[in-house]
Copies of this chain bind each other. A is one copy, B any other.
Amino acid sequence: MEFEKFKELLKEDRCVRRYDEARRIDGEVLESLVGLVRYCASGRNLQPLRYRIVSSAEECAEVFPALKWAGYLPDWDGPVEGERPSAYLIQCLDTDLTQNLLCDDGIQLQALTLGAKTLGIGCCIIKSFNVLTIKERLHLPENMKPLYVLAMGYPVEKVVIDDIKDDDVKYWRDSNGIHHVPKRKAEDLIIK
C-alpha cells in the first residue's frame, strides 16, 4: 500500500455519531474486524484486550443508554432513533492478565476504525460511559473491564476537518448539519 493511499484512509476515517441504524452490520464482518487487532503491537506482547461484539438491535438498545455523546455539543443528546449505532465493540481489559496495558488500547482502536472505514463503516470511540451498566447488561465476566466502547454504523453525517483557529479545539455543527473538527496544523505537532 502506498503512503498517500494510507494518508487518504486516515483522513476519511472521521469520528461519526449519526448512522443508518436500519442497516445492520454482519456478525462475520465484526469478527473479521476484531481479527485485525491480533496483528497489532502489544506492550510486552501480553495481548490483554478482548472484545464483546454487540450487533443485535436488542443488545444495541441495552448499550445505548449507557453512553454519553459529544461533550462539545451541549444541545445535542446523541443520535435519535433511526440514527443510532447498529453495532458496538466493547474493548475490555482482561484484569487477570494485567492492570497495565500500556497503549494497546489506542493502537487497537486505530486499527479497528481504519479497518472499518475500508468497509464503509463509521466509528466513534467513546470513553464516557457507565461501566457498570455495560458490564451488567452484557453479562461480562468479572475479569473483563470495559475500557472503550466503539460505536459503529454506516454514516449518515458529513464530517470535515478545519485548520484550528485561536487554539479552539471544540468541534461544532453548522446549519447544514455538517460536523466540523478543528485540527492542529502538522507543523504545530513538531517540537523544534
**Which residues of A approach B to under 8 Å, CB–CB?**
1-3, 5-11, 13, 15, 31-32, 34-41, 43-47, 49-53, 71-72, 90, 92, 102-111, 113-115, 118-119, 125, 127, 140-141, 144, 148, 161, 169-171, 181-186, 189-191
The interface residues of chain B lying within 8 Å CB-to-CB of A170 are: 45
Question: Which residues on B sit within 8 Å (CB–CB) of A52?
Answer: 190-191
Give min CB distance, A177 to chain B, whole Å: 19
Please give the distance in Å from A151's CB to the nearest CB on chain B.
12
B189 and A50 form a contact (CB under 8 A): yes
B-side contacts of A51, CB under 8 Å: 189-191
A136 CB to nearest B CB, Å: 14
Q: How far is the CA of A53 from the CA of B190 in the complex (A)?
A: 7
Given contacts A103-B109, A148-B103, contact A191 B92 (CB under 8 A): yes
Are B190 and A45 in touch, CB under 8 angstroms?
Answer: no
Closest to A119 in B: B3
**With A105-B106, A110-B111, A184-B38 as given contacts, are A44 and B169 in contact (CB-CB < 8 Å)?**
yes
In the complex, 22 of the A-B residue pairs with CB atoms within 8 angstroms, ordered by the A residue number, are: A5-B118, A6-B36, A11-B39, A34-B189, A37-B189, A38-B184, A38-B186, A41-B109, A41-B113, A43-B127, A45-B171, A45-B181, A45-B182, A53-B191, A92-B191, A102-B106, A103-B103, A106-B106, A106-B109, A110-B110, A110-B111, A141-B191
How far apart are the CA atoms of A181 and B39 in the complex, in Å? Answer: 10
Question: How far apart sit A115 and B71, CA to CA, in the bound complex (Å)?
Answer: 30
When distances are taken between beta carbons in the complex, the residues of chain B under 8 Å from A7 are 36, 39, 115
